[in-house]
Amino acid sequence: MNKKNKILLLLLFVGLIALSSCSLKPLKNIQYKEFENMEDIDSDLIIVGFSQLGSESDWRTANTKSIQNALISENGFSLIFANGRQKQENQIKDVRSFIFQEVDYIVIAPVTETGWDTVLTEARDAGIPVVIVDRMIDTEDESLYAAVVGTDKHAEGMKAGIWLEKHLEKVKQASDASPDGSGTEYVEEDVNIVILEGTINSTAQIGRSQGFDDIAKNHENWNIIARESGDFTKAKGKEVMAKYLREFDDIDVLVSQNDDMTFGAIEAIQEAGLTCGVNGDITIISFDAVSRAFDMMEEGLINVVIECNPLQGDLISEIIERLENGEEVPKISYVDGKVFEAENASIDRIGRSY
């Protein structure tokens, strides 16, 4: 079916939805590009259906903007966006809607790793290439996707563990050189760690947990006394941290797998009458590096943030163009991230776009 007919079908589909809106529940969260008239439709546009997993965090907002800003008509694209609201069943419906509309490509940020084989087999059988972004899917069948664009979550978890090793070494050196000159023997005290995990079975939760654990297992005095999901949201992060603070009276370190959960945890810590961050009661390691996290590092409330770069739109656009031209593309492409510490936050944030 040529592009013109595809777009006619799309308009017919939209028209049917509009006419039947009184009876059918409109396909929620599906935003259609409005075409004034046929002349507005450039039949050479590459039509992309984008199933975003949700809008749960500042990181997700930046990721969505990056992709929407890259897949624009000036760059040769027509984007259909769907927000899955952090539910796999919504994303599966959205992907099926894209298949029905015979889009040219499907881009999906899968909320969790498992349960995608059936719907992605339907996409493959319909001849629609799929680009997985941000998080990964767990499948034996690599033919279900043409490419993956994301970040190395296991490496991010290891960076957090390595930072904590260095931080504790600095504390030890400061203790050994204690001002009273007594050369107090630094006792390898127990380091009590609590973890706020992201959405369970998401690549970010799996990778960051395994990466941190791979470092923690080398330290007998590191005690991970609690780990529970805050589902990457501020509200749930605050709720779980408040529970930790009720259960434990000696938390030394919080490892929070995204900044939004960290923001909630900081509120819980302060409401419990404790301090956090640089020279605080509780050392905080966070992930993402969104703008508000830099604000909090500048206030000394967060010690370190492990960056997970959400700006993936340009790379996705480039990969789709190469696929469209029949070129080979890497199966997995990672965007790099850095480690930002409170002491350097004011300088490091200069020029950042999110």
Reported for 182-191, long-range contacts at CB under 8 A and 24+ positions apart, including other chains, are 188/221, 189/221, 190/221, 190/223, 191/164, 191/219, 191/221, 191/222, 191/223, 191/252, 191/253
In the three-class reduction of DSSP (H, G, I as helix; E, B as strand; rest coil), residue 47 is classed as: strand
Q: Please name the residues in contact with 258: beta carbons below 8 A apart, sequence gap of 6 or more.
A: 57, 59, 198, 204, 232, 286, 287, 288
Given CA atoms 193, 347, 65, 46 in this order, what sign does their dihedral have?
A: negative
For residues 205 and 257, is the Cβ–Cβ distance under 8 A? Answer: yes
Nearer to ligand GZL, 53 or 103 (CB): 53
The stretch near ligand GZL (CB under 6 A) out of 56-64, 276-284, 319-327, 339-347 is 56-64
The verdict on 197 binding ligand GZL (CB under 6 A) reads no
| Among the listed residues 45, 48, 49, 56, the single contact to ligand GZL using CB under 6 A | 56
Residue 288 C-beta: closest distance to ligand GZL, Å: 5
**Helices and strands of the chain, counted as H and E runs:** 11, 13
Residue 58 C-beta: closest distance to ligand GZL, Å: 7
Residue among 330, 234, 216, 292 nearest 62 (CA): 292
| Among the listed residues 64, 66, 83, 258, the single contact to ligand GZL using CB under 6 A | 258
| Among the listed residues 287, 304, 323, 335, the single contact to ligand GZL using CB under 6 A | 287
Residue 73 C-beta: closest distance to ligand GZL, Å: 28
The stretch near ligand GZL (CB under 6 A) out of 55-63, 69-77, 87-95, 247-255 is 55-63
The verdict on 160 binding ligand GZL (CB under 6 A) reads no
Residue 193 C-beta: closest distance to ligand GZL, Å: 19
For residues 17 and 27, is the Cβ–Cβ distance under 8 A? Answer: yes
| Among the listed residues 151, 192, 229, 303, the single contact to ligand GZL using CB under 6 A | 151
222-229 and 283-288: which strand pairing? unpaired
Residue 123, Cβ neighbours under 10 Å: how many? 23
Residue 17 tokens read as 């939805």
Nearer to ligand GZL, 106 or 204 (CB): 204
C-alpha 278: how far from chain center: 26
Q: Kindly write out the interface string for residues 108-147 of this chain, putting x where it contacts ligand GZL by CB under 6 A and - elsewhere.
A: --------------------------xx------------
| Among the listed residues 308, 315, 319, 320, the single contact to ligand GZL using CB under 6 A | 308
- Count the residues of the shown chain that bind ligand GZL, applying the rule CB under 6 A: 14
Nearer to ligand GZL, 102 or 197 (CB): 197
77-83 and 30-31: which strand pairing? antiparallel
Q: Which residues bind ligand GZL (CB under 6 A)?
A: 56-57, 59-60, 134-135, 151, 204, 232, 258, 260, 287-288, 308
